[in-house]
Amino acid sequence: MAVNARRIRDETSKLAFLGGGVVGIAIAVLLWWLMPGGAPVEASQTARHDVPTLPKPSGHVQLAEDDKARMRTMLQQKLETAEDDFDRQVWVADLMNVIGDRTPDRNEVAHIASLVHRYAAQFGLSPELVLSVMAVESNFDRFAVSRAGARGLMQIMPFWKQDIGSAEDNLFDIETNIRYGCAILKIYLDRHDKTVRALAAYNGSLGKSKYPLRVFDQMRRFKAAAGDLRS
């Protein structure tokens, strides 16, 4: 009897040890799963350009997938290089006198103004409106970064690269930033029947008028410089 009792205790101890090991492994797996980066990454997070899902500001206006598809198409369009007409050259020269004091590099100012005019024409926008958005957003500082993380001349949030562009896009590049800004602005203008709402949506302040009024104030100056209005 004593031998049998001892054997039972030994077998019970082995089972308890093995059981504890299994439980320990299960707990370790559970902890690994709950740790940041432990669980498998959702396929949807890396489906496009291997870009992780980026948070959007609370004031961001969500767009439908067909709107995003349109913007992706716009970004992929090649800039029409044949638009070296006299009107554009005159427009750029006139605006140089207004925005030249905000950026010391005159060649950069001319480059910005020329690209604004080209992409505005290509996307069906008012070049003075694009320039006004840029003035309010960054004051023509191509390396501007907002507290929310918006970048460049037209203050493009990085999540737009995930939604409509490519992870390799450099939002501090002048042409890339202007191209993004024009595409985003065009979609909001098409979606909202009033320019005030479209501008507020662009800025993430839909329902408020402070930002649109600042843009309109700049626009009056630029239109006057371009000869459309008299100050």
Just list the catalytic residues: 137
DSSP state of 156: B
Torsions phi, psi for 56 (to 5 deg): -105, 145
The runs of H, that is alpha helices, within 63-153 are 65-76, 86-99, 106-123, 127-138
CB 130 within 8 A of CB 120: yes
Q: Where is 213: in which H helix or E strand?
A: helix 210-225
Cβ neighbors of 203 (< 8 A, separation 6 or more) are 59, 137, 211
Q: Which two tokens stand for residue 155?
A: 């203050």
96 vs 217: CA distance, rounded Å: 18
Q: Which two tokens stand for residue 78?
A: 């090649």
Is 113 buried (19+), middle (13-18) or exposed (0-12) by CB count in 10 A? buried
Q: How many CB atoms lie within 10 A of CB 230?
A: 6
CB 100 within 8 A of CB 109: yes
